[in-house]
A = this chain, B = another copy of it.
Amino acid sequence: MKAVVHEHQTGMDGLHYRSMEQMEPKEGEVKVKLKTAGLNHRDLFLLERHKPTDPPIILGSDGAGIVEIAGQGVENVKIGDEVIINPSIGWQYNSEAPPEGFNVLGYPEHGTFAEFIIISADNVESKPEYLSWEEAGVLSLAALTAYRALFTRGHLRAGTTVLIPGIGSGVATFLLQFAKAAGATVYVTSRSKDKCENALELGADKAIDSNEDWNKQLNNEKMDLVIECVGAATFNKSLDQVRRGGTVVTFGASAGDRVEIDIRKFFYGQYNLLGTTMGSTEEYREMLKFIQKHHIKPVLDQIYPIEQFKEGFYRMEKGAQLGKIGFHINT
């Protein structure tokens, strides 16, 4: 089978679309013929983290496809089922933090940028019928991260005011969609006028220019909740935009991971800063129920043929997308 493999070199030059040996599912596993896959920032980071001396790795955390073979003992799906892949490995039940051994699909286990994947049957769920293959294929990692950030960690509910700095990424657009579906008031920021306009079309109550004074543009309104997925570039602005006793949930650091905070200001404000990542399988199933109830579809940016995978990586590197970038496979 053919796959996007990272090997021998760090960075984009280490990526090749080439033949890989096909494996067979063991007990409790399934073999899925992938129709679509989704690109995440994580795949970009891995180009640096995965070393030239490490064994070759098939990247990709998101995907959807059709069950080709079900191993012994598999009961939740059968051959021919249309499935969506849950990239959370080794974190079954909700808990404050993942257990030892938790991984995200796509490293160190082979991922979804391939014609086929062998995966535990626990990590496949029925594809929601109202989603297209493209929509199902780009959903999982970002939607699960957004779900945990907003609900498990941020305790968002109807009436909560929430700010999402840096609208544009897949996860940020899910944050916006999920928060609106739950009845929150949602403000977003972006450096891009186009992204601000798109966010308003998606239901944002206000979209402000990241480069201008946030307080001024928000009429000094302070938020119950800020979901900070940008990093150092916006971190202190985010903290400054929270009401006394309010919460910042943080899970992103693409714009720098070192931040200086004024702890005196922090404790006088009775603030809460909560770290989060992708979630558990239990949260993944809650998220699927939530999107089905509210009929939420991922915002698609661009879907490329898998052979043109580099186009997708370049587009994400530039931060040009609004919503999810994905790949067609086995068309």
Instruction: List the interface of chain A (C-beta within 8 A of B).
Output: 95-98, 231-232, 235, 243-246, 250-253, 257-277
Contacts and interface: CB of A to CB of B under 8 A. Distances in A.
A263 B265 CA distance: 18
20 contacts: A96-B245, A96-B246, A96-B270, A98-B270, A232-B263, A250-B263, A250-B267, A253-B263, A253-B264, A257-B265, A258-B261, A258-B263, A259-B260, A261-B261, A267-B276, A268-B275, A270-B277, A271-B274, A271-B275, A272-B275
A267 B153 CA distance: 11
B277 A268 contact: yes
Contacts of A271: 274-275
Contact of A277 (B232, B260, B267): B267
Q: Tell me if A's interface is mostly helix, strand, loop or mixed.
A: mixed
A45 to B, nearest CB: 10
A259 B267 CA distance: 13
A231 B266 CA distance: 12
Given A232-B263, A258-B261, A266-B275, 15 more contacts: A95-B245, A96-B244, A96-B245, A96-B270, A97-B244, A97-B245, A97-B269, A97-B270, A250-B263, A250-B267, A253-B264, A257-B262, A268-B277, A270-B275, A273-B273
Contacts of A269: 97, 275
Given A96-B244, A270-B96, A257 B263 contact: yes
Nearest to A244: B97
